A = this chain, B = another copy of it.
Amino acid sequence: MRPLKLDPDRLFPAEPRTRDIARALYTEIGGLPIVSPHGHTDPAWFATDAPFANATELLLAPDHYIFRMLYSQGVSLDALGVRSRAGTPATDPREAWRTFAAHYHLFRGTPSRLWLDHVFAEVLGIEVALDPASADHYFDTINTALATPGYRPRALFERFGIEFLATTEGADDPLDHHKRIRESGWGGRVVSTYRPDAVIDAEHEGFAAALERFGALTGEDVMTWDGYLAAHRRRRADFRALGATATDHGHASARTANLSRAESAALFDRIVTGRFEAGESELFRAQMLTEMAKMSVEDGMVMQIHPGSFRNHNAALFASHGRDKGADIPMRADFVGALKPMLDVVGNERDLTIILFTLDETTYARELAPLAGHYPCLRLGPAWWFHDSPEGMRRFREMTTETAGFYNTVGFNDDTRAFLSIPARHDVARRVDCAFLARLVAEGQIADWEAAELAHELTVGLVRRAYKLGEPA
């Protein structure tokens, strides 16, 4: 078996002087607390603190980065234990893990490889590389560790040095796990994020049911425009009461609208009664971004917009396995025209923060950096999803910094449900940022003390301020 050993200088530039600068910067910020303002971990983990099941259920079956790559090379999702609409397949977890190990070379050059090796080496203490020969050793070692107290969710949270962790829940979620976390007396700061997509997207298959729960939870008549808006206000208040500071919106496009009250009410009537024409569901989502922005002006919640994913592109797989099975594909995005109606309403608000994400990197230099480098309410979210990777982050900095600067960005989001990988993901981001800053120093653009200040800002300063988290105690 081959040894597993992380290069302490990984992701730093090879050129020795630049590498030394990067290493010096990283030495100062590599160990700072983790601030994770956007992600998809399960609050039940921290509410119950129950142990994780096994290597396959924890690391393999839920990770779409992993199973999509194996699927692309002909491995069936059943063989990996991935749940379908028919339920969890009767796959032996050890066999699934062996299949994964046999294909681990597919991840060479991908961020998954960086994250997984970090999890294996740093979180799980494994000292050999993953391959067919070590598959059983991995499976047994991981399962043994997961059964110990040190690998329970709260223990890992503390060991990881997490200062803040946001999960994401729908507008129709009762937030029971978050209440239980609060009431438990545990000191970990885990809060929710208000994500109302399911009650806004009339094309979502769960729209009617979500709307019904939305009405039931709020006591509002959500079939009227006024009642519907009031219900949003109530739920936003519920989320805030449990510590949430942000909302999140995952629309297909960044399109916004600025309809009159009467137009909005009439459109809403058609939407909730299902009598809308082609394009009207998108117009409604567009109007709702503006409504959410106006509510954020009122209540101070930070607004995140994540547009541009063609969800469930693989029709047969969606039929058999449902959502989130690695078949979401980015699309070309427009922000300049799309955001204008909303910006006409709130664009010059100085206390509002709207964080923009994209899956279309061509918008970084052309649209997003110029917009964020002008409008007081706009900030740029980090490189997202397929671009949450060393090259993706490097391109993000290279294509946004010269126009938007560093201070119109908001630090890193791990955006993950893979809890064990959170330190790995933040570590990659910190290293890539230090590498970028080191190049600016080596090429005489900024001084070393400025790079040190910036490294601190990119790691904890900007995220705390952008998401209104306050300074740590």
Which residues of A pack against B, CB within 8 Å?
2, 6-7, 9-15, 17-18, 68-69, 71-74, 105-111, 113-114, 310, 313-317, 326-332, 334, 336-337, 340, 343-344, 347-348, 350, 359-362, 365-367, 369-376, 378, 386-387, 389-392, 398-399, 401-408, 439-440, 442-447, 450, 453-454
Interface CB pairs A-B, < 8 A, 5 = A14-B442, A327-B374, A331-B366, A359-B366, A391-B401
- A364, closest chain B residue (CB): B361
Q: A74-B350, A348-B316 are in contact. Are A402 and B373 (CB under 8 A)?
A: no
Q: CA–CA, A303 to B17, complex, Å?
A: 46
- Known: A374-B71, A392-B365. Contact between A110 and B403, CB under 8 A? yes
Q: Kindly report which residue of chain B lies nearest to residue A109, judged by CB atoms.
A: B401
Q: What residues of B have a CB within 8 angstroms of the CB of A336 in the complex?
A: 310, 313, 329-331
Q: How many copies does the complex hold?
A: 3
Q: Assuming A360-B362, A366-B386, what are 10 further A-B pairs, CB within 8 angstroms?
A: A11-B444, A12-B443, A68-B373, A72-B373, A73-B376, A74-B376, A109-B402, A328-B370, A329-B367, A391-B398
B326 near A444: Cβ-Cβ < 8 Å: no
- Set of chain B residues within 8 Å of A389, measured between Cβ atoms: 402-403
Contacts of A328 in B (CB 8 A): 370
Which residue of chain B lies nearest to A335 when distances are taken between CB atoms in the complex?
Answer: B329
B15 touches A14 (CB 8 A): yes
Q: Which of B108, B317, B392 contacts A348 (CB 8 A)?
A: B317
Measured between beta carbons, the chain B residues less than 8 angstroms from A109 are: 401-402, 405-406, 440, 445-446, 454
Tell me the bound Cα distance from A9 to B17 in angstroms: 14
Least CB distance from A450 to B in Å reads 6
Cβ-defined contact, A401 with B110, below 8 A:
yes
Q: A405 CA to B105 CA in the complex, in Å?
A: 9
Given the complex, which residues of B lie within 8 Å of A71, measured CB to CB? 374, 376
B69 in contact with A373 (CB, 8 Å): yes
| A114 nearest in chain B by CB position | B445
Q: With the chains together, A334 CA to B313 CA distance in Å?
A: 14
